[in-house]
Amino acid sequence: MNDTRKRRPTLQDIADQTGVTKMTVSRYLRDPHTVAEGTRGRIAAVVEELGYIPNRAPDILSNATSKAIGILLPSLSNQVFSALVHGIETVTRPAGYQTLLAHYGYNPEQEEEQVASLLSYHVDGLILSDSLHTERTRKMIATAGIPVVETMDLPQNPIDMVVGMDHRAAARAMVTEMLRRGRRKVVYLGARLDVRTQLRMEGYYQAMADFGLDGQHLLTEQSSSFTLGGQLLEQALARYPDLDGLFCTNDDVAVGALLQCQARWIPVPQQIAIAGCNALDIGHAMTPKLASIVTPREEIGREAATMLLARLGGQPRPDNRMDLGFSLYEGESLG
């Protein structure tokens, strides 16, 4: 069977076309300023012409640092995690580090597979988006001996370093605000039963208990979406027809519930107050503007990357745990 793959240009190809040694080309690729200006221009032109792709496998196989950071993401479509990655890369890119992204769909066993894959590439560090891991994942990370930052949550027993926020406290604060404004029949809507959904539900129940009220919730393992938010609203109304408030685990569910209220001519916030979490842009575009918990996702990414690179640079921070807090955007949907 013929191999139809096109042969990649090599260092020797560049050397042959520029009349310099492979060593000079290699030196240029590591740091162009170590090569004479005229030679630099010739090499740059040939690299551009050939579409040369650097081969870093020899460095990795020789146990040199890979200059790569592995990032584990539970969702590729969720804006929350795109903001996290953006924050990370504002720090890693100027420092000369590449980022390798792996997706695991909120599944700890799939995360285990992706961690194994990233470690096989000898990444210098890992940034994780969850605090729930399999025992094998923890063992592999311990064996690899590389720095790890867990983000978004604040686990009691982190693997190594952690940068996040208190989702339980944030939910408690938002629901307390709803109750302070006179709501008494607030229902919690949760989807994708990950750690953060559970923590927010605990905060919801704490706030209800603070006011001497019994809480009610509707949960589903389905992925969050506007459509799902509308469906959960219908189920909540059928089960709790006298509800006067909804606290939703995220803005996708909250926006879907708000749109369905409008479709049914249910006035928000006059009849039902609605609040979400993450303060996504779509919530600000809604009428009324959606109340939501402001989560510092991009800042979490920046701080996680900064903490990781400090460790890699031999200057670790004194505190391995960073709580970046939250704020409430009250919008117009609380009443």
**For the chain, percent of residues with pLDDT exceeding 90:** 75
- Please give the radius of gyration of the chain, using alpha carbons only, rounded to the nearest integer: 25
Q: How confident is the model at residue 1 (pLDDT cuts 50, 70, 90)?
A: very low
What pLDDT is stored for residue 248 in this prediction?
Answer: 98
Q: How far is CA 169 from CA 4, 326, 328, in A?
A: 58, 9, 11
DSSP code, position 99: E
What value does the mean pLDDT take over residues 153-158?
91
Q: How confident is the model at residue 61 (pLDDT cuts 50, 70, 90)?
A: low
Q: How confident is the model at residue 76 (pLDDT cuts 50, 70, 90)?
A: confident
Give the type of residue at 218: L
**For the chain, percent of residues with pLDDT exceeding 70:** 95
Give the type of residue at 330: E
pTM above 0.85, yes or no: no
Q: How far is CA 90 from CA 17, 77, 94, 146, 266, in A?
A: 36, 20, 7, 21, 43
What pLDDT is stored for residue 51 in this prediction?
Answer: 80
Of residues 90 and 193, which shows the higher confidence score? 90
CA dihedral angle for residue 253, residue 300, residue 122, residue 57, rounded to 10 degrees: 90
What pLDDT is stored for residue 5 in this prediction?
Answer: 58
Identify the CA nearest to 126 among candidates 86, 164, 167, 162. Answer: 162
Of residues 203 and 48, which shows the higher confidence score? 203
What value does the mean pLDDT take over residues 60-68?
66
Query: What is the layout of strands, in order, in the sheet containing 321-323?
Result: 98-103, 68-73, 125-128, 148-152, 161-164, 321-323
